[in-house]
Structures are given as structure tokens and as C-alpha cells.
Amino acid sequence: AAQTEPNLNYVDIDPGKSLKFSFVADVPGAFIYHCETQPILLHVASGMYGVLVVDPKVPLPPASESFVIEQSEWYTQQVAGKLMGPDYQKMITERPDEVVFNGVAFQYREHPLVATAGKRIRIYFVDAGPNLWTSFHVIGSMFDKVYPDGDPAHALTDVSTYTVGPGAGAIFDLVIPKPGKYAFVDHDMAHLMIGAVGVIDVRANGAASAEAPAVTAPPVVSAPAASQTLAPEPSGPYHFDSTKGAALFSANCAACHQATGLGMAGVFPPLKGNAAVLDPDPTKQIEAVLHGLHGENIGGTVYATPMPAFGNSLNNTDIANIINHERSSWGNQSKLITANDVKAGRKARLK
């Protein structure tokens, strides 16, 4: 951000020493300042940076709320217990553990930024990196203005998503007319999934947060709607059809849990060796397939990706065949179930 002689002022400072320099901030915008002692990558990736905001001589339009958001990455190794340290190899290969806003993953999802409906919101945004580009976006809204360098004469208007590179910054203005909760994200989906998402809680002037209807439990699976009529149950007693079970699993489950039953690490849980699948009591597994699952801790990992409910699209025999396929595949050897077990699971939810 500074315009000064690097060889004089961008120098190493020994412990106990200090250095002062000054410069005229005559270029408006949002800028990063950071440590430049070698290895620079290690120091910046460890958090040695900040934001410098320079206002233009001709002021920007007044904003009701202003926020400073700095995007960055964490590259870590577990040193001992819960003590974390930097992982330089991850930094070199650009494999972050988290992509964050203002240092903490997901923090503004849990503690939203509060703004007023119909009023101008200003975000001074800097990508501290040290490595990754960002595609900044507010879901459900448009940027009224984007100032790439803080100069009002250079403003872009009506922008949906704007790219900011490592070490660069921009100023974003938006006016959100309706109360609600609007997510702001790095539109690189991999970055979003590991932390680069927050919420702007837009409220009517003087009003409380616009809360969505609370969902305290999964919806009850009752008789399916006419548009979701289930296939009729086969006549006679149930017998596990392994061919149909494999086909139903492939059509309904394999995209997430994979044909190998191994799932995807951190995204979809494995079924191979899964405690619920191996449990002689099938209640939990039946309930999960009928009614869906969300936020379950499986083997020490909490899976945030929701599993859909299949109770309104598959009949009891189909669900039994899927569950028995899971209980008898990939080395799993668990007690098989019947269609009547699934029927009982439906009735249990209705009580």
C-alpha cells in the first residue's frame, strides 16, 4: 500500500528494534499491508497482514453500515494435542485447510453482520491470500457499485460477482431493499466449503432479525402426495433381491456414497464399516433412509451435507433392498431386514 523506497523502509527489524517511515496516501482504495521478511509466504500465511483504507478526496456516497472484510487462507499441521502450527508444504502447493473471512472460518454464518434494509452497505474488501484468488458475491443481491481502486470516477455499476487477486482490494457498495439473511461468499465453491461464507442479516429499520420458520425435526413421512405415488408392494413375503438392491443403490445412493461404499472424505460418510449399517438393530439406518439425515457425527466427523429422505419416493420393498445391499456389500456382514421392518419404521414416525 505504501509508496516509499523498499530498500530503505521495507527492511528486516530485529527483536527489540523499531522503524518508522511515512508516505502520502494519495491513491484511494482498500489495500493490504504485510510482513516482508523471508520467507514472506510463511509470514503472510501465519497472519502478519492488515488492511489500509484510503478515502478519496471526493467522498463516496454516505453508507449506513461499513465493514472491513479480509479474505485469507490457513495452512496447518497438528503439532501436539490441539496445538496447530504452519505447514509450509501446503502453502507451496496451495492446499489450504481453511479459507476465511477475517481470520475465522464460518464466523459470520454464526454471527452475521447486521445491516438495515434499503440503506447503503459498504464493504472494504482485501484478499490477503497469500495464494488464492477470490470471486466475491452476495447471494440474492447485486453490488450497486464496485470501486476497484476507490476512485468514484472508476466505479463499476450493477455487478453480481467480482474477482479480487491475492494482495489486491476493492470497495463494494450494495443496497438490499428487503429484510432477510443474505450470504456473502467466495464463489469458488471449494473455498466456500472450507470457510469462505458469511451472512448479512438485513433488518427493517429498528426491527429484529428476519428469522426463517424454525425446523425442530425432520418432516413426518405420511401418505405420499399424488405426484409422488409409490410403486405398489410386491405380493407375497419379502425376499432380498440382491440384483434390484444393487440397481436401486446405484440409482439413488451411489452418487454420494460411491459404488465402493467409501463415500467422500468430509462430505459424504462411508457405508463400508459404518456403525449404523453393522448394527443388528436396523432402526437408525431405516430412519435415515426414510426421513433423511443432517449434521450427523459419524466416526468422529460431522457431515454437514444433508441426506435426502426417500420415504416419499421409494416403497418399503425398495428401501429394504437398498438397506440389505448396504448390509451385505463391501465386506459388511450384518443382519438383513424385511419390508415389514421398513413399514414399522414409517408407523413409528407417525405416532
Do 189 and 146 lie in a common domain? yes
CB 107 within 8 A of CB 195: no
How many other CB atoms are there within 10 angstroms of residue 204's CB atom? 12
In this prediction, residue 212 carries a pLDDT of 54
Residue 31 in any domain: the answer is yes
Q: Vertex 57, ends 53 and 58: CA angle to 5°? A: 110
Intervals of the chain under pLDDT 70: 1, 80, 206, 210-228, 350-351
Same domain, 125 and 242: no
- Do 19 and 83 have their domain in common? yes
Reduced to 3 states (helix: H, G, I; strand: E, B; else coil), residue 151 is coil
Closest CA to 98 of 196, 197, 198: 196
**Residue 300 backbone zone (phi > 0: left; psi -120 to 50: alpha; other: beta):** left
Question: Residue 20 and residue 83: Cα distance in Å, rounded?
Answer: 34
The CATH number of whichever domain residue 179 belongs to comes to 2.60.40.420
Same domain, 305 and 241: yes
Q: Does 113 lie in the same domain as 182?
A: yes
Number of folded domains that form the chain? 2
Does residue 222 belong to any structural domain of this protein? no
Residue range(s) defining the domain that contains residue 271: 237-350
Kindly state whether residues 140 and 95 are assigned to the same domain: yes
Cell numbers standing for residue 106: 464460518
255 three-class SS? helix
CATH number, domain of 297, equals 1.10.760.10
Q: What is the pLDDT of residue 1?
A: 59
Return the pLDDT at 213: 47
Torsion angle of C-alpha atoms 322, 264, 332, 308, degrees rounded to 10: -30
Residues 6 or more apart whose CB falls under 8 angstroms from that of 141 comprise 174, 176, 182
* Cross-strand bridge partners of residue 182: 200
Is the domain of 195 the same as that of 286?
no
Query: Do residues 20 and 113 share a domain?
Result: yes
Same domain for 153 and 252, yes or no, is: no
Domain end position, chosen among 177, 203, 229 = 203
> Does residue 75 lie within any of the structural domains?
yes
Using DSSP's 3-state secondary structure scheme, residue 54 falls into strand
User: Is there a cis peptide before residue 39, judged by omega within 30 degrees of 0?
Assistant: yes
Whether 189 and 249 map to the same domain: the answer is no
Query: How close are the terminal C-alpha atoms of the chain, in Å?
Result: 65
For residues 168 and 67, state if they share a domain. Answer: yes
